[in-house]
């Protein structure tokens, strides 16, 4: 019955579905979930087959969490970091940098990090539409709807998966948190020096002045690349 209803809606509302793909995904998921008590997507692979590249969503042990639209500030910060880290990684041929809505497959969890870095050593984990295993660095910019997820479920999952570094940025409170995996497999918070500069272990030679992220507008990327001696 659910499949028939989906086909009927696709026939009657093709233009709306084309214009509002994320809302259509929400309706599809609600219909399938209401049809029975079983998990809609029992595996990450089933979820990936269903979700399209433009839909921002995460898979949590069979359930799908559809993400709220990101704020302009969120996108500007992620874009800024993507450019800085991307140029650094490219110059020194360290691996690849990817941003949302790219998914990452962990144990019974398919998060969608804002930004992730994969070293050359782990490029075998890269699939056509997702990362099959943990990244080497994950970055999240906290929003009002993601704060519990970023500090709770994701923190625990990233730590358990052995992701070497996890960076968290709260632009509203102008707070930056950096975690590095210790020898005991637990995240250790890194205390920043007085100048606010964080030096990455997974990206040797790369440093980030967190004060850049709180500026409005953000500093020109080319100026920062010169400070990092990338240009």
Predicted confidence (pLDDT) per residue in 77-112, tens digit: 999 999 999 999 999 999 999 999 999 999 989 999
Paired residues of 128 in beta bridges: none
Task: Give residue 150's pLDDT.
Answer: 77
Task: Give residue 37's pLDDT.
Answer: 46
- For the segment 171-183, the average pLDDT, to the nearest whole number, is 95
Q: Are residues 123 and 221 in the same domain?
A: yes
Task: Give residue 144's pLDDT.
Answer: 73
Q: Are residues 62 and 97 in the same domain?
A: no
Across 132-156, b (16+ Cβ under 10 Å) vs e yields: ebbbbbbbbbbbeebeebbeeebbe
Q: Are residues 14 and 128 in the same domain?
A: no
Q: Which residue, 12, 35, 66, sits at the end of a domain?
A: 66
Q: Are residues 175 and 220 in the same domain?
A: yes
Task: Give residue 39's pLDDT.
Answer: 55
Task: Give residue 146's pLDDT.
Answer: 67
Is it the case that residue 122 has pLDDT exceeding 90? yes
Provide the token pair at 216.
Answer: 């409005």
Q: Which residue, 25, 42, 66, sits at the end of a domain?
A: 66
- Report residue 132's pLDDT band, with 50, 70 and 90 as the boundaries: very high
Q: Are residues 61 and 162 in the same domain?
A: no
Task: Give residue 23's pLDDT.
Answer: 77
Q: Which residues lie below 8 Å from residue 118, measured CB to CB, with a gap of 6+?
A: 95, 96, 98, 125, 126, 131, 135, 136
Task: Give residue 188's pLDDT.
Answer: 97
Q: Are residues 176 and 99 in the same domain?
A: yes
Q: Which residue, 45, 66, 87, sits at the end of a domain?
A: 66
Q: Are residues 44 and 96 in the same domain?
A: no
Provide the 3-class DSSP secondary structure of residue 33: helix
- For the segment 136-160, the average pLDDT, to the nearest whole number, is 87
Mean pLDDT for the chain overall: 90
The enclosing domain of 162 has a CATH number of 3.90.1570.10
Which pTM does this prediction carry? 0.84
The domain tally of the chain equals 2
Tell me whether the omega of the peptide bond preceding residue 217 falls within 30 degrees of 0, making it cis.
yes
Look up the domain containing 118 and give its range: 72-227
Q: Are residues 162 and 60 in the same domain?
A: no
Q: Are residues 100 and 16 in the same domain?
A: no
Write out pLDDT tens, residues 15-58. Answer: 888 888 777 877 877 777 677 644 567 789 988 988 877 778 89
Q: Are residues 121 and 10 in the same domain?
A: no
Q: Are residues 194 and 137 in the same domain?
A: yes
Q: Are residues 51 and 102 in the same domain?
A: no
Whether residue 117 contacts residue 97, with contact meaning beta carbons closer than 8 Å, is answered with yes
Task: Give residue 1's pLDDT.
Answer: 55
Task: Give residue 127's pLDDT.
Answer: 96
> Which one has a higher pLDDT value, 151 or 82?
82
Write out pLDDT tens, residues 202-219. Answer: 999 999 999 999 999 999
């Amino acid at each position: 019955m659910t499949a028939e209803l989906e086909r009927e809606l696709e026939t009657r509302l093709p233009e709306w579905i084309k214009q509002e793909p994320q809302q259509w995904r929400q309706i599809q998921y609600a219909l399938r979930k209401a049809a029975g008590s079983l998990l809609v997507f029992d595996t990450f692979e089933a979820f990936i087959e269903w979700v399209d590249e433009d839909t921002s969503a995460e898979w949590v042990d069979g359930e799908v969490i559809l993400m709220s639209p990101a704020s302009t500030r969120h996108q500007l910060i992620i874009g800024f970091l993507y450019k800085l880290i991307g140029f650094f990684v490219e110059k020194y041929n360290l691996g690849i940098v990817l941003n949302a809505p790219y998914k990452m497959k962990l144990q019974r969890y398919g998060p969608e990090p804002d930004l992730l870095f994969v070293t050359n050593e782990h490029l075998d984990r890269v699939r056509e539409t997702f990362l099959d295993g943990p990244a080497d660095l994950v970055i999240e910019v906290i929003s009002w709807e993601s704060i519990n997820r970023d500090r709770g479920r994701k923190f625990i999952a990233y730590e358990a998966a052995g992701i070497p570094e996890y960076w968290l940025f709260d632009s509203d409170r102008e707070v930056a948190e950096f975690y590095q995996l210790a020898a005991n497999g637990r995240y250790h918070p890194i205390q920043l020096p007085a100048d606010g500069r964080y030096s990455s272990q997974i990206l040797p030679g790369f440093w980030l002045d967190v004060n850049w992220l709180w500026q409005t507008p953000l500093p020109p990327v080319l100026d920062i690349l010169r400070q990092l001696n990338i240009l």
